[in-house]
Amino acid sequence: MISINFIIYICCPQFVAKEGDIVTPGTKIAVISKSASSDTSVTPSEKPSQDDPKPAALEADKAKSNVEIKEKPVVVAEIKEKPKVTSPAPAKLSASEPQLPPKERERRVPMPRIRKRVATRLKDSQNTYAMLTTFNEVDMTNLMKLRSDYKDAFLDKHGTKLGLMSGFVKAAVSGLQHLPIVNAVIDGEDIIYRDYIDVSIAVGTPKGLVVPVLRDVDKMNFADIEKTINTLAKRASEGTISIDEMAGGTFTISNGGVYGSLLSTPIINPPQSAILGMHSIVSRPVVVNGQVVPRPMMYVALTYDHRLIDGREAVFFLRRIKDVVEDPRRLLLDL
């Protein structure tokens, strides 16, 4: 008889994770291995009988039975799940956070054409110029005294009030004449020097900011300046001022002091190279001849295009404004 052994392999998984455990994608949950279960012996006759019709077939069966069955390598199974995309829960506002008003309490209106124009020009100015601002302070005592002493006689002769703006315009003219670079402008790779002085005066209106121009202001006296400013300001407020009356200009003066501004950095009015900012007059303690006394003081600011104007010229120009305003007699003596 021939003894034939059969080896049977059974896959036995070993669980790493327990039932009910929460696992994340990529975690190993089981290991699958193979093990032999038992040997099964079959004992037929030791010798084939003489009358066995198929001895060759038995030998073939024996050869087959002694071959061990081999399985492919077992791969450890791991479950990978796609991460679930969950929408975030809406944030809850705390009691301290402000509640936004409903849209019904807002109103949308078209932007006026003048506001669009102002916005475009100011943004273009910021994008083009290398703007820098320098400051100084002016003692307004003498200019205010000049106006107080001659306001009645000035009104009787010229039919208009004497204001402070005409004094600053004349001081600006003097500064532009002493430092022509402030009155110049960059054009491509060239510098254009203007031999005329047209001063733009910023005027606030209910519809927006306008800048009427005083032409050839270097040829005007105090009365001409005051009359022209009053006329242009009135027409600007009424909305009857023309485009030609606001075109051009070589230098701008903006008086934020009439609204109570103490200090500001004005933006250049293109295509000019500088702008003078006036501010409110405030009584402050100042040292005069070694004594601390109260004086009506004003901060002045000059914003200029640093590509063209150096700090030296800007400071000298603002110093010239200070000298003329603090002592208007310089204008008579050309000092």
Consecutive H or E run containing 23: none
- State yes or no: cis peptide before 271, omega within 30 of 0: yes
Angle at 180 between CA 177 and CA 181, to 5 degrees: 155
For 105, the 3-state DSSP assignment is helix
Catalytic, 178? Answer no
Q: Which of 218, 224, 306, 323 is catalytic?
A: 306
Consecutive H or E run containing 223: helix 222-238
Three-state DSSP string of 35-103: EEEEEEEECCCCCCCCCCCCHHHHHHHHHHHCCCCCCCCCCCCECCCCCCCCCCCCCCCCCCCCCCCCH
Provide the pairing of β-strand 131-139 with 291-305.
Answer: antiparallel
Q: What is the DSSP letter of 219?
A: G
Catalytic, 279? Answer no
Q: Which of 21, 149, 152, 310 is catalytic?
A: 310
Q: What is the DSSP letter of 267?
A: P
Residue 253 Cα distances to 122, 210, 257, 277, 299, angstroms: 15, 12, 12, 6, 14
**CA neighbor of 64 nearest in space, from 33, 34, 42, 37:** 42
> How far, in Å, CA of 267 to CA of 276, rounded?
9
Residues classed as catalytic: 306, 310
